[in-house]
Amino acid sequence: MYKITLIPGDGIGPEVSKAMRKVVEATGVNIEWDIVEAGEGVMEEFSTPLPQHVIDTIKKNKIAIKGPITTPVGKGFRSVNVTLRQELDLYANLRPVKSFKGIKSRYEDIDLVIVRENTEDLYAGIEHKLGNYGAESIKIITREASEKIAEFAFKYAVDNKRKKVTAIHKANIMKLSDGLFLDVYRNVASKYDVDYDDMIVDAASMNLVMTPEKFDVMVMPNLYGDILSDLCAGLVGGLGIVPGANIGKEYAVFEAVHGSAPQIAGKNMANPTALIQSAVMMLRYLGEYDKAAKIEDSLSKVFLDGKVLTADLGGNATTEEFTNEICRVMENK
């Protein structure tokens, strides 16, 4: 039996978390869910969106999956996601982006992976006011973190038989910070028998839209990874499709890439695919490859059939109906 921490989240988080659990449990995998709450809903009781007991249970279980949690814009508490990554040293953010036949998109056969450094850059949260006329955010890039994420990217490429790694940077302008990241990347690349190159982030943005098939594994500092992974999600049908994993030496936390979408919370219309796909990544991380493939194959069949899809995918199915259809297909496999 696996014991896994589950943080349902807020907004649509509880709905998509419930759907994910149902699909995972339908595979027959034996999981005991350790359910804990985080986010705005626990602020009054604990005076923090991320109580210590939540971190403690992840450290105990070593693995967690979480629904989306709202982060206030321009005020309020810091992102729970960012805090978890830093507290648990989840230095690698892995976001595979893959097309499904049956989902409307301008592109076909997209299959690329974003590897994002997860603990520093502007997300280190070092900010201060400049009198009453401005504010300053400090970008932190270290040799150690750059080396760890580059090694992760190349090892991932080797383990998954990927052909090329591309570093994304802005070293033409930020010559010291991004320059350090690029130098470390090239040093690591020289140790692997994998093709590699690099690209300035603005050029990468254009090329991802024009010729996304040219990319394979992409590795980059924190901010660029956050932005480009959303851009890449747009290539395959939107944020409701793309999964994510935060991986460190000791712990792993899996999560959907999308936000909490409070405007549709409680309406039974959220698309749970991203969190279900995150659970597929989690099962593979646990070594449950057959069960992961069973979910992924069933998802593919539901999308290709096209009869039971949520509104964001052009259908009119509820979250529950979509979830039940995945389970039905799995039962008939």
pLDDT (tens digit per residue) in 142-196? 999 999 999 999 999 999 999 999 999 999 999 999 999 999 999 999 999 999 9
Domain hosting 80: range is: 1-105+238-333
149 and 219 belong to one structural domain: yes
167 and 256 belong to one structural domain: no
pLDDT at position 49, please? 84
Token pair belonging to 174: 């930020």
Q: 3-class SS at 245?
A: strand
Catalytic site includes residue 2 = no
The CATH number given to whatever domain includes residue 279 is 3.40.718.10
Catalytic site includes residue 123 = yes
DSSP 315-333: ----HHHHHHHHHHHHHT-
Task: Please tell me which residue in 10, 91, 121, 123 is annotated as part of the active site.
Answer: 123
246 and 312 belong to one structural domain: yes
Phi/psi zone of residue 89: left (φ > 0), alpha (ψ -120 to 50 degrees), beta? left
92 and 194 belong to one structural domain: no
Given pLDDT bands bounded at 50, 70 and 90, which one contains residue 74? very low
pLDDT at position 168, please? 98
Domain boundary among 207, 235, 263: 235
Please state the rounded mean pLDDT for residues 285-301: 96
198 and 50 belong to one structural domain: no
Task: Output helix, strand, coil percentages for the chain, rounded to the nearest 5.
Answer: 45, 20, 35
Average pLDDT value for the chain: 93
**Does 114 fall in a domain?**
no
- Domain count for the chain, please give it: 2
User: Measured between alpha carbons, how far is 231 from 207 in angstroms, rounded to an integer?
Assistant: 11
**Does 321 fall in a domain?**
yes
Task: Please tell me which residue in 56, 183, 202, 297 is annotated as part of the active site.
Answer: 202
User: Measured between alpha carbons, how far is 211 from 197 in angstroms, rounded to an integer?
Assistant: 16
pTM of the model: 0.92
60 and 11 belong to one structural domain: yes
Model confidence over 75-89: pLDDT tens digits?
Answer: 444 578 888 888 999
265 and 229 belong to one structural domain: no
pLDDT at position 75, please? 44
Task: Please tell me which residue in 66, 226, 251, 291 is annotated as part of the active site.
Answer: 226
What are the helix (H) ranges across the chain?
Answer: 13-26, 43-46, 52-61, 80-87, 143-159, 177-189, 201-210, 222-235, 273-285, 289-305, 319-331
**Does 277 fall in a domain?**
yes
Task: Please tell me which residue in 66, 121, 148, 170 is annotated as part of the active site.
Answer: 170
10 and 97 belong to one structural domain: yes
Given pLDDT bands bounded at 50, 70 and 90, which one contains residue 72? low
More confident site: 172 or 69:
172
Do 216 and 157 contact (CB within 8 A), yes or no? Answer: yes
* Residue 119: DSSP 8-state: S
Domain boundary among 213, 235, 257: 235
Q: Are strands 127-130 and 164-169 parallel, antiparallel or unpaired?
A: unpaired
The 8 Å CB, 24+ separation contacts for 183-189 are 184/143, 184/146, 184/147, 184/150, 185/146, 185/150, 185/219, 187/147, 188/147, 188/150, 188/151, 188/154, 189/150, 189/154, 189/165
Domain boundary among 200, 235, 270: 235
Catalytic site includes residue 202 = yes
